[in-house]
Amino acid sequence: MPMSRLIRMFMSSVKAKMLIMFVILTSIPLIVVGLISYQKSFTTVSEHSKAATLYIIDQLARNIDVLFQDTGKLLELEKNPAVLQFLFSQTDSYADAKQILLAFDLYRKTYRYDNVLNISMVNLYGRGISERKGVFTLNQNPLRNSHFQHLIAHPEDVLIIPPSRSLKLDRLDGFTYDEGNVISILATVKQRITHEVIGFIVIDLNDEFVQRFSESYQLGKTGRFIVSDSEGQPIYRSSDMPPLLATETEASRMLEGKGNFVTSSKGKPIFVTYTTSQTTGWKIIGIAPLQEIVEDANKIRQLIIVSVGLSILFVVGLYFFVSSRLTKPLKVLKNRMRKAASGNLDAKVIPVGSDEITDLGNSFNTMIEQLKMLIARSIQEQEQIRKSELRTLQAQINPHFLYNTLDSIIWMAEAGKNAQVIELVKALSRFFRITLSKGKDWITVANEIEHVQCYLVIQQMRYRDILEYAVDIAPAVLQHRILKMTLQPIVENALYHGIKNKRGKGLILITAHAEDAGQTLVIKVRDNGKGMSKETLELLIARADGAEALSQDFEAESRYQEGGFGLYNVNQRIRLYYGAEYGLTIDSAEGIGTTVTIKVPILPGGK
């Protein structure tokens, strides 16, 4: 079976449509709430995690700062008189050197400097003293060293030299370190009174403390730290850490104060957070997979997804439970409707309960009863239409009218009135041509007016002394269509019951125009004949509105023909075809005349 046919069959089921609507109406809010909750929780948790990582590297930076600040206390040795005497003097003094070394040892015992490898002092002439070497003399002028040159120009500065650019006094005094790379702290020694630079103090640190501090903190599960100098040269990095592939913009951001960003490495997002040591100016950079940083947020996302999925499953299960109770009476109603559609109007629903479906079943039963009534009424109306058409046919072929017209033609021919004979024959021919109209029931207003004019021409030949007529039709309504034989019975009634019973010449006036913004066609037939009394008018109106009891008796109808059956016939035809709101209205005054007004709708397309 084609897929499109299966889809059509599925969508033709009310149950399937209810399922789709039920799932959509319940799942969309759940999904929206889930997405909003996920977004809020993810943002909150991830920001918290990012803040926590930034706090970790800030703590690492503070520990490094504290270590350098503690180590900086060794710079107080510049105020020691023995140090000043040793650096200022040009001769060796064993007592001063011994006192300086004792001061070095006292500071070590007091502050427990485990990371300090050596403390050295040197004057401007290359004469120096150190913990490991003792008194020594440099082989070259110390002022040739760029770091010492900087301190001479800025004597208040304290330089912290990373391993990549360390002073490495071991190259100057012949002593070498076995402990690893060296971080050097440099400062000037100034004369107390003149504050003139008389030498330099150099403190060498083992850089392993950076590694030790870095490994004491954890960033995610596999996160690592990089410690670099102010120019971006690494001081420490884990051996298993891949190179950080940062863009130029990201690299420039890391040279600023502190912050974080997300970059990519081999297609995987990497979270990078960084801060700056206030004492050294070094950069501490933490690197970890973003998945580890937002792990808690991902767990919340999974929880929300599972919750939404379970809620949707619950909604679907609830739907099947509810729909089975709702669709069963609907299926019963559908089966009864199919039987009714096949013609079995005795198929009814037995209502159970008091809900809307029960009301629908009661409405269906009521509809079936009304259908029966409407069918019976339609049969009765069709019977009335057939009788009305029969009466119209009888009126169309009125033998008395035809006989009288032929007698008039014979009389005129014998009298030699050839022109009148020709005119009368033409009018009679046109009258019957329009009457028949090839079996059509609908003709234009122009043809209906022409039909009436032909009738009046024929009757005027017979009643020349008493009959005049006039026609005033709005051109805009001539092309609209109307039921055939609508005007002729009314004009005939005006002639025989109005004009003939009046002394002197009578006038029949026919007018037509549109009303209600072109929605209604109004035709009026006025005569200045005898008119009717109020009682007679009321009787005639009652007969024209419908004499159902009278229509059952053909003999009574024949007697009624003389008293206005033509009006009744026209009125019934109009109501049967157009509706009960249309038809005839009659206004008459005894001795003044009668006006019959016809109102029919102007239908689109003519009918």
List per-block mean pLDDT (blocks of 10 residues) for the chain, which spans 607 residues: 57 64 74 77 75 81 84 83 81 78 83 82 88 84 87 90 62 52 88 87 84 75 78 71 57 69 74 84 82 74 79 77 70 77 76 72 81 82 66 58 82 85 87 79 90 90 87 92 89 89 88 91 93 85 62 40 66 84 91 93 72
- What CATH number corresponds to the domain at position 602? 3.30.565.10
- Helices 445-462, 399-414: inter-axial angle, 10-degree rounding: 60
The pLDDT, as a whole number, for residue 66 is 85
- What CATH number corresponds to the domain at position 138? 3.30.450.20
The domain total for the chain is 2
CB 94 within 8 A of CB 135: no
For residues 510 and 2, give the distance between their C-alpha atoms in angstroms, rounded to a whole number. Answer: 68
H helices present in 463-561, as ranges: 488-494, 534-545, 548-551, 554-561
For residues 536 and 543, give the distance between their C-alpha atoms in angstroms, rounded to a whole number. Answer: 11
The pLDDT, as a whole number, for residue 550 is 40
Q: Tell me, what amino acid is at 457?
A: V
CB 285 within 8 A of CB 58: no
Give the residue from 157, 188, 210 where a domain finishes. Answer: 210
Give pTM, 2 decimals. 0.46
CB 592 within 8 A of CB 532: no
For residues 184 and 186, give the distance between their C-alpha atoms in angstroms, rounded to a whole number. Answer: 6
The pLDDT, as a whole number, for residue 288 is 81
For residues 586 and 541, give the distance between their C-alpha atoms in angstroms, rounded to a whole number. Answer: 7
Asked whether residue 277 is assigned to any structural domain, the reply reads: no
Measured in residues, the chain has a length of 607
For residues 578 and 288, give the distance between their C-alpha atoms in angstroms, rounded to a whole number. Answer: 86
- Compute and round to an integer the Cα radius of gyration of the chain: 60
The pLDDT, as a whole number, for residue 559 is 37
Asked whether residue 515 is assigned to any structural domain, the reply reads: yes
Give the residue from 210, 242, 275 where a domain finishes. Answer: 210
For residues 294 and 143, give the distance between their C-alpha atoms in angstroms, rounded to a whole number. Answer: 53
The pLDDT, as a whole number, for residue 174 is 47
Asked whether residue 524 is assigned to any structural domain, the reply reads: yes
How would you class 300 by CB atoms within 10 Å of its CB: exposed for 0-12, middle for 13-18, buried for 19 or more? middle
CB 493 within 8 A of CB 530: no
The pLDDT, as a whole number, for residue 92 is 65
Asked whether residue 472 is assigned to any structural domain, the reply reads: yes
Asked whether residue 594 is assigned to any structural domain, the reply reads: yes
Q: Angle 257-261-266 (CA atoms, 0-180°, nearest 5)?
A: 135
Give the residue from 210, 236, 253 where a domain finishes. Answer: 210
The pLDDT, as a whole number, for residue 444 is 92
- Which domain does 191 fall in, by range? 80-210
CB 521 within 8 A of CB 476: no
Q: Tell me, what amino acid is at 459?
A: Q
DSSP category for residue 227: E
Asked whether residue 311 is assigned to any structural domain, the reply reads: no
Asked whether residue 132 is assigned to any structural domain, the reply reads: yes
Asked whether residue 494 is assigned to any structural domain, the reply reads: yes
